[in-house]
Amino acid sequence: MKQALMVAAIQMVSGASLNENLSEAARLIALAAQSGARLIALPEYFCMLGRKETDKLEIAEAPGVGPIQEFLSARAVQHQIWLSCGSMPFISPDAGRVFNTQLIFDPSGQQISRYDKIHLFGFNRGTESYDESRGILAGRTIERVQTPVATLGLSICYDLRFPELYRALGEVDLILVPSAFTYTTGMAHWEILLRARAIENQCYVLAPAQGGQHENGRRTWGHTMLIDPWGEVMSVLPEHAGVVSGTIDPLRLQEVRQALPALKHRTLY
């Protein structure tokens, strides 16, 4: 990263209507862009949190084809921004499952990167039960994105619990963690894990989230936030739709890494 960069993370409470979700995303992207953000990130499944598990199959797209990707490309061009879709469903080789995919678009509207979520969430306690592997096919490849404005490390939600993924990315300026953490697990672990990833990788972390009560009865934790390389929370939005923004500064990255050169002190790989 050569100069300071204003970034923004969008918090949503996505529902079952694709068109309504796209309309809300457009509104929030415009709001973030108007504040000066040059890199904007949407939350996991910004385009739909359906009433049933199979709803995502109906809107899954093939690479380069479909209304969701057209929407994202157009917003990047309209606002001249770098845009992360958070995640959206992509067609997979398994007809009954999709990839949970994060795409990055540049200001010309070109898709420059793709990451398929590697770690799939499973949780079972009392009346709460989740098993993402029923509807999602796991990715296999990590993704580090070199752009003119920042070096990005891509991840999605449950990936946050696996520090080896972030170590494998190498040195980055900014880690993206679009998420839809459950209220239960978010309350217990969300901020702790985000701050740990920032501290141990000595980089900024931008975590756009779903945050509120959804049509399908699910409640997500929210608390979209931006964290600096020392682990300090720079900005946070607890619940409801909105925007979190701030500046990532190469001088701050340099200051932290020079004062405590932990990345150079590593002995185990």
Residue 264 known to be catalytic: no
Question: Which residues does 247 contact at the CB level (< 8 Å), separation at least 6?
Answer: 4, 5, 6, 7
Torsion sign (Cα): 135, 17, 23, 191: negative
The one catalytic residue in 44, 61, 143, 239 is: 44
What residue type is assigned to position 188 of the chain? Answer: A
Number of C-beta neighbours around residue 228 at 10 A: 22
Q: Residue 126: left (phi > 0), alpha (psi -120 to 50), or beta?
A: left
CA-CA-CA-CA dihedral for 90, 92, 95, 98, to nearest 10: -40
Torsion sign (Cα): 59, 61, 64, 69: positive
Calpha distance 35→245 (Å, rounded): 8
The one catalytic residue in 47, 85, 157, 203 is: 157
Running DSSP on this structure, what letter comes out for residue 42?
P
Calpha distance 221→231 (Å, rounded): 20
Residue 85 known to be catalytic: no
The one catalytic residue in 47, 56, 61, 117 is: 117
Residue 2 known to be catalytic: no
- The residues that are catalytic are 44, 117, 157
